[in-house]
Structures are given as C-alpha cells and as structure tokens.
Amino acid sequence: MVCGRTLFLLSLAVVMSQGIAAPASVTVSNHSRATACAEEDNVSLHLWAPGITRLRVEALPPPYLDRVDRDITTPDFSGCTFDGSAHPTDPAYRFREGRVVLHDGPRWRIVGLTLPTFWRPQRVPVRLGQRTVRGIHLLQVFAKTGDASSPREVLVLYPADGYWRIKPVPAPRFGDGVYGSSFLLGPVVDDGRPVVNIASIRIETRPLVLRLRFADGGQARVAVAEASRERTALDVSFAPPWHRATPFATLRSMHVAPDNADVSEIRWRQDANAALQVQPLETVQRIEATDVRFGRSIPSRHNTSAPDLRFHDFEAAGR
C-alpha cells in the first residue's frame, strides 16, 4: 500500500516536472452581507488563483493591541435571532462526547474533542503515529513556550467542516486570548455555508505538520512554522497544483460596524513594488493581491485582542 507521505511526494514531483514555482498573485472576491448580529459569520472572502502550490497564513496581533488593557470577549446576541445554544438553521447530529490527548511532548500538546452535537455527520479519521481516531470535531494545538506558565492554545481545526482558527501566543494580560476570523484551506464548496470536505488527516510532530487528504482528491501539507507572541504562521503546500473551479481558501468572519467586528478592513499590495492599499471591508468587491491582510485598525468591542489574518508568499507552478 502506498502511504500518504509517498503520495504527497509523488504529487510534488509532478509539480516540479511542470516547472519551477514562481511568485503569484491571487484574486480576492468579497461575498459578505450585512447583519446586526455580532455572533454570526456574515463575512466571506474567497481567494482564487490558477496553479497555486504554496502560501503562508499568519495570525498577527492587531496594530492597536499595545493600547488595549482589557479584552472584551463576552458574546453579544442582542442583534441575533438565536441565543448561542445552537444556530437555528443548523442540523444537530448527536455523538458520544469525549476527549483524547493525541500528543503531549516538549513543544506541543494536541487534543481531540468530540462534541455532544455537531452540524455535520462526517467522522474524519485523524492519525498520529500508530493511533487513528474518528469523530473528532475540534482538534486543538497548544504551544509550550518558555514565557507561559501553561501551554497556550494557538490553533484549532474542525475536521468535519474544514474550518481553521489560529492566534499568536497571547500576552499574559489577555489570559488564553481569543480567536477572531476563521478560514478554510482546500476545495471550498457550499453546504449551507462554505466548507472543505476532508477525507483524512495525518499529524507529524517533529516538525508539527498536518497532512490533509481531500474527499474529492488532492492534498495539502500544513506546517506550523512559528507560534510566538509576534505571530502564529502556517506554511501551506498543495499537491497537485490548484486547477479547480473553486477557491483554494476562504476567510470567514463577522462585521457589524468598524468598532464591532473581527475584520473591518483589508490591506493589500497588488505586487511586491506596489504601494500598500487600505480600504474598509464593505467597499472592496474584488482585488488582485500578492499580500493581503484582513484586520482592524481601531479597537473592537467584539473579541478585542483577536488577531488579524494575513495571506502571502503565494507561489504557483510554472507552465
């Protein structure tokens, strides 16, 4: 039997045979809608590009963070039609609740949670070493850093719908910190909301790498390149190169107003030599970028310390 690593290396060889990867730009299209609910993901920003093979995703502290003493993390359902116990449009599949520690080493702790209910029935196999677990809804990665009294969660992945969230190691005054925007990596399709269907996940810990096999073919290698106060960074590789009619990534977030949002503006460069452009989220419809950051410039009363998300270092296979 051919193992997942061998398949990825074979696919990578195909990429190399098609030409050396080169810096690339991507198209970002805005499919967001207005809402009064601060607990609803009404922001959808799709990233498209032919032939994409690599990119980096970073979670960065918002630029105003040094001026903030108190984090605001309390949910606000005042403008919502639901109370937070469940979204009214979601189905509720039932599972046997559980928690499993997949890895607890000198650098990382990796935990899998099975929730009592989840909105999708998929039971994606997650393998680490010789152990395979099915039915994990929330995969948590905790970083063990020298300046923290206990491991700090810096990454979560929902295997059943493909959602990722990352954040830098929080400053002590912010406790465990909070997530803000989430994102998808892989063939994004609509199932009531954007999702990525993952067939299986294999985890390596030296270095920390998550290898994803997608349900309709293709693979991604996601390496945790850094987890620090400055950033948490993921280096992503696709094999084979991205030649699909779907986005290769989607950012999902919330926006009610500039001071009540997880993302309220977009910063980007059209190419390496171009000037930085900054526009409010709602004014952007479609842009071309080699470097794009989704974030905030003024403190938000929603998840105040939540990070900006930056997508850059795009590469595409040569032709």
Type and span of the H or E element at 71: none
Judge whether residue 147 has pLDDT over 70: no
Q: pLDDT confidence of 5, banded at 50, 70, 90?
A: low
Q: What percent of the chain has pLDDT over 90?
A: 79
User: What pLDDT, on a 0 to 100 scale, did the predictor assign at position 75?
Assistant: 87
pLDDT tens, 217-234?
Answer: 999 999 999 999 999 999
Token representation of residue 234? 């993921």
Q: How far is CA 281 from CA 31, 266, 267, in A?
A: 11, 6, 9
Q: How far is CA 299 from CA 43, 180, 199, 307, in A?
A: 19, 13, 39, 11
Is the entire prediction scored with pTM above 0.75? yes
Q: Give dist(CA 231, CA 62) in Å, integer.
A: 11
Q: Is the dihedral of CA 308, 114, 193, 301 positive or negative?
A: negative
Q: How far is CA 302 from CA 52, 71, 159, 179, in A?
A: 34, 9, 26, 11
Token representation of residue 144? 């063990």
Q: How many C-beta atoms lie closer than 10 Å to residue 312's C-beta?
A: 16
Judge whether residue 4 has pLDDT over 50: yes
CA-based R_g, the chain, Å: 19
Judge whether residue 272 has pLDDT over 70: yes
Q: How far is CA 245 from CA 50, 106, 134, 266, in A?
A: 9, 42, 30, 24
Residue 159 corresponds to which amino acid?
P
User: What pLDDT, on a 0 to 100 scale, did the predictor assign at position 232?
Assistant: 98
Q: pLDDT confidence of 15, banded at 50, 70, 90?
A: very low
Q: Give dist(CA 30, CA 36) in Å, integer.
A: 18
Q: pLDDT confidence of 14, banded at 50, 70, 90?
A: very low
Q: Contact, 135 vs 123, CB < 8 A?
A: yes
Q: Give dist(CA 161, CA 194) in Å, integer.
A: 9
| Closest C-alpha among 133, 90, 89, 92 to residue 111 | 133
Sequence-distant (6+) residues with CB within 8 A of 36 are 79, 80, 256
Q: How many C-beta atoms lie closer than 10 Å to residue 224's C-beta?
A: 21
| Closest C-alpha among 93, 234, 98, 232 to residue 169 | 232
Average pLDDT over residues 167-188: 93
- Domain-by-domain residue ranges, the chain? 4-80+90-316
Q: Contact, 96 vs 118, CB < 8 A?
A: no
User: What pLDDT, on a 0 to 100 scale, did the predictor assign at position 16?
Assistant: 44
User: What pLDDT, on a 0 to 100 scale, did the predictor assign at position 153?
Assistant: 96
Q: Give dist(CA 227, CA 191) in Å, integer.
A: 32
